Structure 1
Amino acid sequence: MSKVSFIYLSQEEVVKSGGTDMLKTISDVEEVLVMRHKGECIVPHKVVLRKGTQEEESVTGRVNALPGYIGKDKNIGGIKWVASFVQNPFKHGLPRSSSLIIINSFETGIPLAIMDGTIISAMRTGAVAGVACKYLANKDARTVGMVGAGVIGRTVLMAVKAVLKDIVQVQIYDLFMERAEKFAKGMQDELKVPVSAVDSAEKALSNKDIIMTATPAKKPYVKAPWVAGGSLYLHMSGYECEYGVLSQSDKIVVDNWEDVKARNSQTPALMLHDGKLSDGNIHAEIAEIIIGEKPGRENRKERIFFNPVGMGVQNLMVAHRIYRTAKEKGYGQTLTLWDKPMWI
């Protein structure tokens, strides 16, 4: 066989193939977290392409490459090529993030699929928060406080609501009140839970069972007194909280501590760099809790801080499910790489 083809899936076809099914995405992410812990994945560090410094990227943007390999019955490699341009929604009417995912067979190396990764990336980011809620939140959590009315805020709230069935109140703060109000109305209609916009981060986060921050902030704004006893803090972005938030936490949990340290942009890594945190202060990677090597929440009063950094294999696991569904249902376009290779 010399002809080689692959399928291309647009964003609409990704959605038709289950791209916005949060419960399935949480299951995908949980499975691949455990596989990575057992050595059944390869997770290279991401490559970052940026103009200027890390501090300037909120203006200049960046593009990241996240390769990975998933073994066992999957036996696939691939990469997510993802752009993050913070000004897009405000200047160009475009999403902040856009991405492509390529899946390759690891028997031949031949590409199996190329697909929009924008929905997948957002969904798997929310899904890892859902996994955290499953193992680290009080099961009867009722209130959620959020800062950041963007796409990640949307998918995190989708995941929280999918896992925690007793949520009765959500409050959201954003620098732009109109954006927060639009988010609140849309998510209330979608999730059938009361969501309201408030005029400060303190109001949004104080005395909540679950708190979430997902902003491009370069200076910390979350203060320790706002974080209630018994809460789970989903710290989804960079340097968003004061060091005291971690110092008072009963448990600090991450997805991949070596990557958190390597990227050196999130609060735990910055604390480590400043000598305010050590490796021994990290209670666990979430996979250790999933498989029972370490305990998750042990009592109702614990403050637990969860910091995911994200891994390319999470995107690949979700993309592989979508690829198989698309193949079964006949979605997507078949594109030819070559009819006959010019050279062998």
Structure 2
Amino acid sequence: MSKAEFIYLTQEDVIAAGGLNMEKCMEAVEEALACHARGDMVLPSKTVVRWGDPETEATKGRINAMPSYLGGKVNKVGIKWIGSSPLNPKRHNLPRASGILILNDPETKLPLAIMDSTIISAMRTGATGGVGMKYLARKESRIMGMIGAGVQARTQAMAAKIAFPHLEKILIFDILPDRSNSWCQEMSLKLNTPCSPARSAEEAVRESDFFVTVTTAHAPIVKADWIKSGHTFVHMAGYEDEVAVVKKADKIVLDSWTEVHHRGLQTVYLAYEQGLISEKDIYAEIGEIIIGKKKGRENNKEFIYYNTVGMGIEDVAFGSFILEEAQKKGIGISLPLWKNPIWV
């Protein structure tokens, strides 16, 4: 029997292989979402390890296991194992999130690679928001609003610049003003786009063409009367807006209703649970719009509510791109699984 080997990629390797290339990440994620709409994937719901009820995640954190198979151009199996510990930055000077991604051959089921997924996860989450911006925001959009100035705000802004290369301004609000200020200094240079701290969450929403929420909030921030005609709301986290915001939408678009329902924490699910909306009110999943099964934005007056929960196929998609680039460039370490299997 032949030996079995896999490639190990550190975070530095992932970056060297293109881990910060948002354009390629959005292409990979768009392919994953299209495969989801076609049914060319296998997607078990994520398993969450937590130390208590969902509210404890704010302090004790969680670890998610996200297995999936993605067909199409990718044809890989994988699993992301990612931890989130909110107190890490203050207590241990470590990132909030850390994870690994394992990719397997769908034929032999043997591992092909084990890699850091911290960057991959952050990038693909930004890309998922960016794909929504591309298909759902008004084409002439020039001002982006943002609530929350953490890591995810960085990748959402990176994706916005791919979706809207002529973006003129980013307004960002965080409950900690110093975070907004430092974020603006950093991202203005990186994106070559003026970034300004907003005086309030309301200003970030009202003054924008489209806006994104990336917070750890467990109580609503965004209010229904802040929404204006033509707005696009990219909702990336949990309970960040009044249920009335969902009810106000002309179109509700999700990445996956099954996974939003499974997670059970986001505002759109709470509106459903309270009987304010039904499944019939869900206009589309974003993959259906990508493949042309449903239309995206049809006029400049629609308020479109886009909610994502995240799926393992997105990690497999971008991780597969990273693996291919690493192999082309000779990046990473080849490690043996065995020289000869003891049992066959």
Q: Which TM-score band (shorter chain)?
A: over 0.9
- Give a deviation string over 1:190-221, Cα, whole Å, max 9, x none: 00111011332112222310111011111111
CA distance in 1, matches of 2:277, 2:283: 12
Greater shift, 319-328 or 161-170, is seen at 161-170
CA contact (8 A) 1:140 1:166 kept: no
CA contact (8 A) 1:207 1:228 kept: no
Partner of 2:153, secondary structure, is helix
Code of the aligned partner of 1:42? V
Tell me the residue number matched to 2:115. 115
CA contact (8 A) 2:35 2:72 kept: no
CA contact (8 A) 2:170 2:196 kept: yes
Alpha-carbon offset, residue 26 of structure 1:
0.6
CA distance in 1, matches of 2:235, 2:324: 32
| Gaps in structure 2 of 5+ consecutive residues | none
Alpha-carbon offset, residue 74 of structure 1:
3.4
CA contact (8 A) 1:207 1:226 kept: no
- The reply to whether residue 87 of structure 1 matches residue 60 of structure 2 is no
Code of the aligned partner of 2:33? L
Tell me the residue number matched to 2:229. 229
Alignment of 1:1-344 (within 5 A): 1-344=1-344
CA distance in 1, matches of 2:301, 2:127: 24
CA distance in 2, matches of 1:190, 1:74: 30
CA distance in 2, matches of 1:294, 1:307: 16
CA distance in 2, matches of 1:276, 1:87: 35
**How many residue pairs end up in the alignment?**
344
Code of the aligned partner of 1:292? G
CA distance in 2, matches of 1:224, 1:239: 14
Alpha-carbon offset, residue 133 of structure 1:
1.3
CA contact (8 A) 1:88 1:95 kept: yes
Partner of 1:140, secondary structure, is coil
Greater shift, 166-175 or 231-240, is seen at 166-175
CA contact (8 A) 2:8 2:334 kept: yes
Partner of 2:240, secondary structure, is coil
Code of the aligned partner of 2:211? I
CA contact (8 A) 2:243 2:270 kept: no
CA contact (8 A) 2:251 2:303 kept: yes
CA distance in 2, matches of 1:76, 1:11: 21
Code of the aligned partner of 1:85? S
CA distance in 1, matches of 2:324, 2:181: 38
CA contact (8 A) 1:148 1:214 kept: yes
CA distance in 2, matches of 1:107, 1:169: 48
CA contact (8 A) 1:208 1:228 kept: no
CA distance in 2, matches of 1:174, 1:73: 39
RMSD of aligned Cα (Å)? 1.1
Alpha-carbon offset, residue 73 of structure 1:
4.9
- Give a deviation string over 1:27-52, Cα, whole Å, max 9, x none: 11111111111111001100000001
Alpha-carbon offset, residue 91 of structure 1:
2.4
Code of the aligned partner of 2:69? Y
Code of the aligned partner of 1:59? T
- Percent identity between matched residues is 46
- Give a deviation string over 1:269-313, Cα, whole Å, max 9, x none: 111111111001111001111121111111111111100111001
| Gaps in structure 1 of 5+ consecutive residues | none
TM-score by length of 2: 0.98
Alpha-carbon offset, residue 256 of structure 1:
0.4
CA distance in 2, matches of 1:173, 1:49: 31
CA distance in 2, matches of 1:70, 1:223: 37
CA distance in 1, matches of 2:139, 2:180: 27
CA contact (8 A) 1:127 1:159 kept: yes
Partner of 2:127, secondary structure, is helix
Alpha-carbon offset, residue 66 of structure 1:
0.2
